[in-house]
A and B are shown apart, each in its own frame.
Chain A
Amino acid sequence: MKTVVRTFQTSLRALRRNIMRSALTCVGIIIGIGAVIAMMEIGNGISTLNQRAIASLGANNLVIFPGQAASGGVSWGAGSSMNLTPQDCEAILRECTAVRAAAPEVRSGGQIVYGNKNWVPMQITGSTADYLDVRQWPVDEGAVFTEQDVRNSGKVCVIGQTIRREMFGDENPIGKEIRLANVSLKVVGVLTRKGANMWGGDQDDVIIAPWTTIKYRVSGNNRSGSGGGGSSASSGSSSGGVNTLNNLYPNSGVKLYPQQSETQAANYPQPVRFTNVNSITTAATTAEEVPLAIKQITQVLRERHRLGDGEPDDFQVRDMTEMMNTLASTTQLISTLLLIVAGISLVVGGVGIMNIMLVSVTERTREIGLRMAVGAHGKHILMQFLVEAIVLCLAGGIIGISLGRGVSLLVRQLLKWPTAVSVPAIVASVVVSATVGIVFGFYPAWKASRLDPIEALRYE
């Protein structure tokens, strides 16, 4: 035991004796490990950026559609049931930990008019301010409508770049009013350009307004969704084609949640008719959390819809499988690439260590001979040189880790990439640098231990 400790001390002393050479030898490993750490951390950053980019395409978006409604054996098709409510959306946001944001969606269509121009947007969506967060869609100019607007069915909207170009040209659209189905909507914001979606549709050809506005003012149908005129979930509907003046002031006429008098409620204990939405769009916290989010949403909605164990879901949760796969494969590609590069630099560092150790063995042949003459066994010499190599590698490893962290912090500061500490990378680096020390230090050490003391002493 004492011999081991003393051999260790001997190794350290030998390294100190050649401090310059030891330092230079370390540089190989420092660069190797530094590269690994920096690569891993920057790689993490790239991954995050990449994830964000793909997430903005909607990779971690989940869209919840109501289930099908059927009447007399005739199905109305997917999404025809009227059982998704804004309260469902709030419950999902409140109870599902894997869901970052959720927004209800009400769809409509129609012509818009501004001045002497008119246009039919591809998509007219009613939602909340969270919708833009779910879609990761920032506003270019102006602002998003507020929670207050949603509650008041405020006559405001934000428009996409295509609408801006077609309706306003070079004019500043903020504060201007466009008319949509005879309702004046004030433009409060313009969205950034999003371009085409995956199947070529223009995503910028869009108007987004508070869902209450679309539902109660624009669609002109204050009881059911735009698509479900005859479905079983809604009982009757007014003639939706004409907007009467009355409909323009829903706060005075139509209540969001239809009121019953106490007598009515007592006499006709009907289920309260609720306001439905066409779909709920949610975003999972990360792409990896998507399956968990689906599970949680399903659970919450089954509870809220009071579905028993045997009953099928009355809704559907759809995810972006294709995009998810793309995301997974790109991330995989980046990590593999980085690993290969890091591996190469480590091997280079290791060969450097081996080279220096071989030189060191040759240079210290006489010392080895002397040590053997005064009683060192082969294994003592082996250990001494092996410890030297490992100490060099470990020291290099530790300095390399700090260097790598430094580089990654620099990148974070200068390029604003979201680099992150990678604990596995640090642990792996320490293990790898020790291993490199053992592997590349072994041959020189073994060579030293096999020297013949007589020859070694005579070596010039």
Chain B
Amino acid sequence: MMLAEHGEDCRVIAGGTALMLALRQRMVNPTHLISLGQLEAMRGIAYDEQSGLRIGARTLHSEVAASPLIRERCPMLADMASRVANPQVRNQGTIGGNLCYADPATDPPSCLMALGAKVMLASTRGDRELSIEEFLVDYYTTALEPDEIVTEIQVPPVNITAGRHVRFLRTAAEHRPLINLAITITHDGKLCREARLVVGATTPIPARVTRCEDFLAGKTVTPEIAAEAASIAAADINAISDLRGSEEYRRDMVRVVTRRTICELFGLKDH
């Protein structure tokens, strides 16, 4: 109700780890903050055969990382959550808040995109459901209307046989990835039946590299195939260029990380 009334002057606060920074830097200047801090219904993790994993938007990164359900059903997501930012932020920041901020240099969006996750939105006008691709619009921009909130993230049960989320940092002391890569595959030994490959953090929003996915589908993966797929990924992404890394450097690192990750997924020795 308040959100509908105040619109852009109003911001929703969950964990606050991202919003506090934006407020400090005067990137946003709201007159009202609405805290979701007491809404226990929006926190927690469940699983059912139809929806798959259902993660409340207010669930902390540390809770995603530690959840036995997620570790069993989707270890790649738990593994990613155990490395997001730093331990303190994992105890404060929420998965829903992370998506809403749409920071390009963060890990959950690319991982969730590779898993085909869906975002549940609610407002006084009703509920709707978007794919991650539909939800993330651009650099710090989502499809959220001013009166909407994210209530839940769903990871549908899919036939994935393996997956990895990998982050590349310029230095070990950094918290913001320069590149991240999420790959999910359906495979049989070295045969790749299907692949979904997402590059994030080095693009304005995470993006699937469909030419790479199509290239891998149906192939028996060798180190040469992995290298070729990696070159496609490096060439096809919309790489940004900024103080943290030039476009050329980012493409080079995407190539390296992609090749290594594909090799690892298929149990190949990287050359």
Q: Tell me, yes or no, whether A binds B.
A: no
Q: Which B residues are within 8 Å of any A CB, using their own CB?
A: none
A interface list, Cβ under 8 A from B: none
